[in-house]
Amino acid sequence: MPPARRRAWHAVRTTVATAALVAAAVLLVMGLTSGSSTATLPDLDGRPVVVEETPDAEGAELRSTGGRFVVPAHGLDVPLVEMTVTGGTLNPPTFTDAFVLRDPDRVTPQGTRPLVVALHAVRAGRAPGNAFFEPGSSDPAVLVQPGAELVVDGVTYRVERTEVLDKAQAARSQDIWGALPDGGDRLVVITCLQRSDATGHAAENLVLHAVRA
């Protein structure tokens, strides 16, 4: 493997159930590959992220909201893009944007599902999700504190709590994917928690739970 590709950049891939999105999500990771078919995407600093699978941007029906995803306390301000789940997979196509999940059936008789925003995080690089945890650590601290503002297309939410879940736990979490009585006022932001001493796919998801301010 060429030396440049030993710099292990890894990013989030999110698998969700397409049937009303109630069965939940598992965050997988696009990993480094040594084959000749590798693709690269730039991170927020313009550095190449080597991935083994190029996201299907066309199938995701991407549409710019014209808004931004902003976390003032962490200096994050990136474009907000709406996308559709295709083939059961929410696989954001860039490492420079925030992606809000298109959910036409969000309101149900049982309640409303939270608004879900997915962000990539990369190892040894910088994507939007990297703003939320300590960089370059084998046991990274979560940097987002309760009360922090998250602004989604001009709407301000305040973080209530954060949690680190393994992928199976995230897949079952009703707080992420279930219909909730106050779900219309709730936001969930999901990224990978990247550990500096890990290889391959990230094993955990960092989840931010917020409520409309």
Q: Which helix (H) or strand (E) holds 48?
A: strand 48-51
Q: Contact, 207 vs 163, CB < 8 A?
A: yes
This prediction has a pTM of 0.85
d(CA 24, CA 98): 19
What is the torsion angle, in degrees rounded to the nearest 10, for the CA atoms of residue 164, residue 170, residue 176 and residue 180? -110
Q: Which helix (H) or strand (E) holds 167?
A: helix 167-172
Give the pLDDT of the chain (213 residues) as one tens digit per residue. Answer: 333 333 333 444 444 443 344 333 434 333 333 334 467 889 999 999 877 666 767 778 899 999 999 999 999 999 999 998 766 666 788 999 999 999 999 999 999 999 999 998 988 789 999 999 999 999 999 999 999 999 999 999 999 999 999 877 887 899 999 999 999 999 999 998 999 988 777 788 899 999 999
Q: Contact, 78 vs 96, CB < 8 A?
A: yes
| 177, two tokens | 């994917």
Q: How many CB atoms lie within 10 A of CB 88?
A: 12
